[in-house]
Chains A and B, each alone.
Chain A
Amino acid sequence: MPKLSIDGREVEVPAGTNLIEAARLLDLEIPHFCYHPGLSVAGNCRMCLVEVEKAPKLQIACNTAVAEGMVVRTDSDKVKKARAGVMEFLLLNHPIDCPICDCAGECYLQDYYMEHDLKASRLEEGKNKKEKAQPIGPHVMLDKERCVLCSRCVRFTDEVSKTHELGIFGRGSTEEIALAPGKTLDNPYSGCVVDLCPVGALTDRDFRFKSRPWFLKETATICGGCAMGCSVVLDTNTNPYNKVGQDRAYRLFPRENREVNGWWMCDEGRYSHHSVDRGRSQGPRLRGKGVPADFALARLAAEAAPLVKAHPGRAAFLLSPRLTNESLFAFRRLAESLGVAQVEFGDDLKAEGRADGFLIQADRNPNSRGARELGLGPRPGVLGGRDLLKAAQGGAFDVVFVLEHALDPAALKALAAATKVLAGFHVQEPVEAGIYTVHLPLAHAFEQDGTFTNVQGRVQRNRKALEPLGDSLPAYAWAQRLGAALGVPQAPDGPEALFRAWTQGRPELAGAVFEPLAAAAPAAA
């Protein structure tokens, strides 16, 4: 491995590493606009100029590979002058409309101006005017004036989404980013160009004017939109005008995780945070009527406990691949203490979409693999989801617990008619909530701690970013309260204790810790 010195500090990096990445290992930030580790090197912004000994001119750090004995300076006067010069060019026609720009606060131009420029404009002629606030796709707004022509978005559509919607047109000061003729930026990953854009040229139409980024609280969590489980950051804040009186989700964007999603995520996942407020089930219901949770549980216990105790074989749990490993484990433990053998997660009932061979998986549930690995999948002596429903509709069960399954109303009616007690647990209020004997609200994935096992077999930590809405609770908490009501008290374990319990006896997860999990996650299978 080549050894080089950057600003007098020695560092040894693999051959082929560029200087920006090498400097990063020393916690040195070489300013750059066009370079992105997930894209090819363009080398057009000229912001990353550094001095390399024995090179006649300054070199761009993004396209200079390390070499043995290289001596690099990133803090010499020559470099500082070059950076200030580049900043002056980039800001020449920039409208400086930061007050109305959504990027303000997370803008490279703002940061680098403060760090490397700090001069007033010397431009005496008027600035170039270009189009502002042009919607170029369902999710992205383009402001051509703010663009620094780094071409990150163009390279993204060429190299990652491979849809080629964007291009750079014109020359000189009329050069601009624009859509290719007849195209709109509507690929399934279009939102990524907003994250890529180092300035405010591409902004998110969904997040437009919603909040200033510095007001938002970041939570590193997992997207629950499909089995891929992309690493994401969820931004939350209170909004005095939304009347909920607690923090709400503002936006979701990908977090770098080279093992899973790289730097990207799909639009479907990106805007899935709206589900936190969409049609939520907020209060327990007894035959459709809103009641306090204790009352609902007491009535459920009064009706179900004698039946389950008399014939544990005539009770069934239909769990869901949308629940965390901890919740699945808690329900499995509850079923065991009740003596109920029929515990299944409805692998054949789960929502399926189309896989695209990149990030989007056909399985639109975050934890199918986790449920299978917990031993809740199809197995001898236990009916699968579809067979279970058929048997239940035929009157094979007295008590059925359904968690997070959007069953069609006809099937549900038949199910309710054939069973004595039908208990439902859902995140979203089912249209036919009245069909359930008791319906209890579940917390959204963003409202609870836990783990999901993605399609690669990585156990990934889901973090609580919001307080559960209304009376909703995570499924493991309902399992504990249900156990107490049914006369089989469960250990009052939090998600961490449940995690320790379910990972015990799993040699591949030996040593895994709940907080933080990233370091101990098993390698991709």
Chain B
Amino acid sequence: MPKPKMTFVERLYLPEISKGLALTSRHFFRNLWHHSLASLGLESRDRAMVTIAYPEVRRPYPLVARSRHRLTKREDGSPKCVACMMCATACPADCIFIEAEEHPDPAIEKRPRHFDIDMSKCVYCGFCVEACPEDAIRMDTGSFELAYFDRKGLVYDKEFLLNDDPHAVPAHAEPLSRGN
């Protein structure tokens, strides 16, 4: 891509710098004004800009946000999944791998022996959730922080997917935060 040519005014340097400083100053004084009013109790804090000190402070995610998957459970704690492979069929990223086996209870008949999701391929489209006839897979853990030293950490297996703790880390993965 060719570098854009600067006009004569732009090349004068000072006019552009003052334009930038004016913008920054406007935000500074506007926030100063709203924060002052808010601290005097004359206005709600909503109008002032806030910086959130992530990751110590987090904003609540909307309920419909699609985050890391989890497998829902029956009352006995086993997965609701019957290994029908609808999610694997619907998946446009081809990131769900299931192997089925016989369920000891003939009324259920089928269950997954393996249920792996390769999160490094997942595009968070939510088709798997839509396709599931058993409400066995959901994307509501609120967990987005998928960072590992190793790609293997991004392959979530059945046991890991059964927990709904947003901060859980798979046993076979080394999290980035360790040692920091």
Contacts and interface: CB of A to CB of B under 8 A. Distances in A.
Choose among A100, A212, A214, A239 the residue with the greatest number of B CB atoms under 10 Å from its CB. A100
B158 to A, nearest CB: 12
B89 A99 contact: no
A104 B84 CA distance: 9
A132 B107 CA distance: 8
Nearest to A239: B99
A357 interface: no
A209 B133 contact: no
A102 to B, nearest CB: 9
A99 B133 contact: yes
A133 interface: yes
B97 A209 contact: no
Contacts of A98: 84, 133
A516 interface: no
B82 A212 contact: no
A212 B109 contact: no
Contacts of A214: 89
Contacts of B114: 241
A240 interface: yes
B10 interface: no
B89 A212 contact: yes
Contacts of B83: 100, 209
B109 A132 contact: yes
B43 interface: no
Nearest to A209: B100
Nearest to A131: B106
Given A99-B82, A99-B133, A133 B106 contact: yes
Given A209-B110, A240-B97, A99 B86 contact: yes
Residue from the set B83, B86, B110 with the largest chain A CB neighbour count within 10 Å:
B110
Contacts of A100: 82-84, 108-110
B16 interface: no
Nearest to A96: B133
B101 interface: yes
B165 interface: no
B86 A132 contact: no
A272 to B, nearest CB: 23
A241 B85 contact: no
Contact of A212 (B85, B106, B108, B116): B85
Given A99-B133, A133-B109, A209 B101 contact: yes
Contacts of B86: 99
Contacts of A212: 85, 89
Interface string A5-29: 0000000000000000000000000
Interface string B80-106: 001111100100000001011110001
Interface in B69-86: 82-86
A200 to B, nearest CB: 11
B130 interface: no
A99 B134 contact: yes
A239 to B, nearest CB: 8
6 contacts: A99-B134, A100-B108, A132-B107, A209-B83, A209-B110, A212-B85
Given A100-B83, A209-B100, A214-B89, 4 more contacts: A99-B110, A104-B84, A240-B97, A240-B116
In the A-B complex, the 5 residue pairs with the smallest Cβ-Cβ separation, listed nearest first, are: A99-B84, A209-B100, A100-B110, A240-B97, A100-B109
